[in-house]
């Protein structure tokens, strides 16, 4: 289980409170689909996600971004319990959605870069280190039920 | 995942915008790499100070980014263009090539922080492809 110092908890909260889910959510999944186009395989019901302009205007892409960030919010609020908090989500992604877990790592990198555009210098090296520790815990929890 | 003509144009245009800040970008990216991915510190035990923005980090950040700039100018043939750099990394430095992904990610994070309006998803994918192609050319002589 991951251990968090009080300083790390504050850092994660202070990054998260600067994120507007309605603004960042759509940007996140759009960026993932554009930068890692093979992720399109998981969104067969989303309609046209095959060009940059289609991705950037796709309503289902935008909605799904908010879904993902609302799930991330649960991790922020349950730092001492991320593995259990995400057990059902992990099982869902493995058994039903059949997502290659390497994509969780790619999405985490996209989250950092999307947030970096918003926070700019506020995401200093120390903050990035703590945020990366948090995302690594999230990615590990998402991998946890793949067995 | 080779670079299309569009990728190359995007890389050249973005590099033209950001190259003036190459030293700051390099120093910041390296600082983040060492702090966020501490396993990378194992390659720099000969430095006195590994903290963000220290003198050796700044100097080496500048070295790394002039390599990147050089690669931009040789974007049409990275493998032959970066041959001697590849030999350096393969035979002298012996950096595990998995680390190229790590420094690339941190360079992209710094682009996002310093140029948030220019680092659109389209620029992001072309720069990511370019840095991956650069890493591949750098690993050419490894085995």
Give chain A's domains with CATH numbers.
6-146 (1.10.490.10)
**pLDDT (tens place) for every residue of chain A, 147 residues total:** 799 999 999 999 999 999 999 999 999 999 999 999 999 999 999 999 999 999 999 999 999 999 999 999 999 999 999 999 999 999 999 999 999 999 999 999 999 999 999 999 999 999 999 999 999 999 999 999 999
- Give A118's contacts in chain B (Cβ within 8 Å): 116
Of A56, A113, A129, the CB nearest to B124: A113
Biggest CA pair distance of chain A:
45
Evaluated on CA atoms B114, B6, A55, B131, the torsion sign reads negative
Chain A CB within 8 Å of residue B31 CB: yes
Q: B32, A125: Cβ pair inside 8 Å?
A: yes
- pLDDT tens digits along B33-66: 999 999 999 999 999 999 999 999 999 999 999 9
DSSP string covering B113-143: HH-TTT--HHHHHHHHHHHHHHHHHHTTT--
Q: Is the pLDDT of residue B1 over 90?
A: no
Of B36, B119, B124, the CB nearest to A128: B36
Q: Predicted ipTM?
A: 0.87
Assigned token pair, A69 = 């960030």
Give chain B's domains with CATH numbers.
5-139 (1.10.490.10)
Biggest CA pair distance of chain B:
43
Place of tokens 């931009």: B72
Q: What is the DSSP letter of B97?
A: T
Nearest CA of chain A to the CA of B93: how many Å? Answer: 25
Please tell me the distance from the alpha carbon of residue A79 to that of residue A101, in angstroms, as a whole number: 21
Please tell me the distance from the alpha carbon of residue B121 to that of residue A12, in angstroms, as a whole number: 25
The pTM (predicted TM-score) of the whole model is 0.92
Nearest CA of chain B to the CA of A51: how many Å? Answer: 11
- Give A30's contacts in chain B (Cβ within 8 Å): 121
Pick the residue from chain A with its C-alpha nearest to B33.
A125
Nearest CA of chain B to the CA of A30: how many Å? Answer: 8
- Give B125's contacts in chain A (Cβ within 8 Å): 34-35
User: Where are the alpha helices (H) located in A36-101, listed in sequence order?
Assistant: 52-57, 59-77, 82-85, 87-91
């Amino acid at each position: 289980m991951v251990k968090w110092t009080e300083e790390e908890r504050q850092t994660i909260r202070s990054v998260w409170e600067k994120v507007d889910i309605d603004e960042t959510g759509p940007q996140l999944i759009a960026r993932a689909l554009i930068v890692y186009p093979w992720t399109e395989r998981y969104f067969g019901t989303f309609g046209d996600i095959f060009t940059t302009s289609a991705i950037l205007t796709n309503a289902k892409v935008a909605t799904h971004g908010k879904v993902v960030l609302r799930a991330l919010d649960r991790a922020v609020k349950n730092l001492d319990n991320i593995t259990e908090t995400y057990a059902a989500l992990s099982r869902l992604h493995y058994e039903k959605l059949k997502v290659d877990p390497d994509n969780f790592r790619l999405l985490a990198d996209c989250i950092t870069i999307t947030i970096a555009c918003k926070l700019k210098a506020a995401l200093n090296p120390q903050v990035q280190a703590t945020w990366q520790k948090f995302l690594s815990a999230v990615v590990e929890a998402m991998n946890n039920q793949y067995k | 995942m080779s670079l299309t003509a569009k990728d190359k144009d995007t890389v050249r245009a973005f590099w033209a915008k950001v190259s003036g800040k190459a030293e700051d970008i390099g120093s910041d990216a390296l600082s983040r790499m060492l702090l966020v991915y501490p396993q990378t510190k194992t390659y720099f035990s000969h430095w006195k100070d590994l903290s963000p923005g220290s003198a050796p980090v700044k100097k080496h950040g500048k070295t790394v980014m002039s390599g990147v700039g050089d690669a931009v100018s040789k974007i049409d043939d990275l493998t032959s263009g970066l041959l001697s750099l590849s030999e350096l990394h393969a035979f002298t430095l012996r950096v595990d090539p998995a680390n190229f992904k790590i420094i690339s990610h941190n360079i992209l994070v710094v682009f996002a922080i310093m140029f948030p309006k220019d680092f659109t998803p389209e620029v992001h994918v072309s720069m990511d492809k370019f840095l991956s192609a650069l890493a591949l050319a750098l690993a050419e002589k490894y085995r």
